A = this chain, B = another copy of it.
Amino acid sequence: MKICFVAFPLEKNLKAKEELERKYGSVEPEKADYIVALGGDGFILKTLHDFLKIKKPVFGMNFGSVGFLMNNYKLEGLEERLINAQLTNLKPLVMRTLTPTGKEIKAIAINEISIRREKYQAAKLQIIVDGEIRMEELVCDGVIVSTSAGSTGYNYSASGPIIPLGSNVIALTAVSAYQPRHWKGGLLKDNAKIKITNTNPSKRPIVAHADHIESKDVISVEIEMSNGLEIPLLFDSDHKIEDRVYREMFKSN
């Protein structure tokens, strides 16, 4: 079994990486059967982004608090865990933004694509779904389009619904809607093609994020679920992500 270890540069992670490499060896990502990532949720997410193209299954481990995308850290028994791990293929969103200079930026989001006002003035957004103008003007702080995997994060904080893994919907969630007042958004089919246009980009600039990938001063943002691209993520079988989504949903706050 060939493993490639990556670690978020904190001392404990780097030390663990050393120990793991001593025990299991280490190969280049391209030659690996598995990528094992040591760090928090943010780092796992970054690792998934980094290795999107080589399509190797990623197994995250962390010390202390075990985040949403991770497993417990243990030095021993890693090969067995990898063999027995449950594979979850996350379907990411694709974001295409247009900037005032006509530049198009494309980025992938495993969790969510968010749009946010950059200035004091509320954003004014037009929302098109599958070619149809569904909202002429949403005046708001911003908007989130979230996958199931991302639904327990920013989407949930903004009062969007938690979506179970394996469902065919994505969440469109508004943040602080001024007009229509208290508009919350809703769910869309996961094959929906969404286009969000800034109706007043000079006075009311907006920034878009595909996970952590930033695109500033965008004129429009097109969002759809990736057709084909799947992101293989591994979980200890007593610790499945489906279950974590439910646990998050039923948590006491």
| Interface flag for A129 (CB, 8 Å) | yes
Tell me the complex Cα distance, A129–B166, Å: 16
Binding-face segment, A68-76, A172-180, A217-225: A172-180
Q: Chain B residue with minimal CB distance to A178? A: B157
Distance to closest chain B CB from A221 (angstroms): 15
| Interface flag for A91 (CB, 8 Å) | no
Cβ contact within 8 Å between B252 and A186:
no
Taking the full assembly, how many copies of this chain does it contain? Answer: 4
Cβ contact within 8 Å between A246 and B134:
yes
| Interface flag for A237 (CB, 8 Å) | no
Tell me the complex Cα distance, A183–B177, Å: 14
Cβ contact within 8 Å between B169 and A182:
no
Cβ contact within 8 Å between A181 and B157:
yes
The residues of B that contact A43 with a CB separation of less than 8 Å are: none
| Interface flag for A212 (CB, 8 Å) | yes
| Interface flag for A171 (CB, 8 Å) | yes
| A127-B250, A167-B167 known; A120 vs B180 contact (CB < 8 Å) | no
Tell me the complex Cα distance, A197–B176, Å: 23
| Interface flag for A164 (CB, 8 Å) | yes
| Interface flag for A63 (CB, 8 Å) | no
| A154-B176, A209-B120, A250-B134 known; A167 vs B169 contact (CB < 8 Å) | yes
| Interface flag for A135 (CB, 8 Å) | yes
Cβ contact within 8 Å between A250 and B135:
yes
Q: Chain B residue with minimal CB distance to A133? A: B250
Tell me the complex Cα distance, A85–B245, Å: 39
| Interface flag for A89 (CB, 8 Å) | no
A-B contact pairs, 11 of them (CB 8 A): A122-B154, A154-B178, A157-B182, A159-B184, A161-B186, A163-B169, A164-B189, A180-B252, A180-B253, A182-B182, A183-B253
Instruction: Give residues in A with beta carbon < 8 Å to B.
Output: 120, 122, 127, 129, 134-135, 140-141, 153-154, 156-164, 166-169, 171, 175-178, 180-189, 209, 212, 214, 246, 249-253
- Contacts A159-B176, A163-B169 aside, 7 further interface pairs with beta carbons under 8 A come to A120-B212, A122-B157, A156-B181, A157-B181, A161-B186, A167-B187, A169-B187
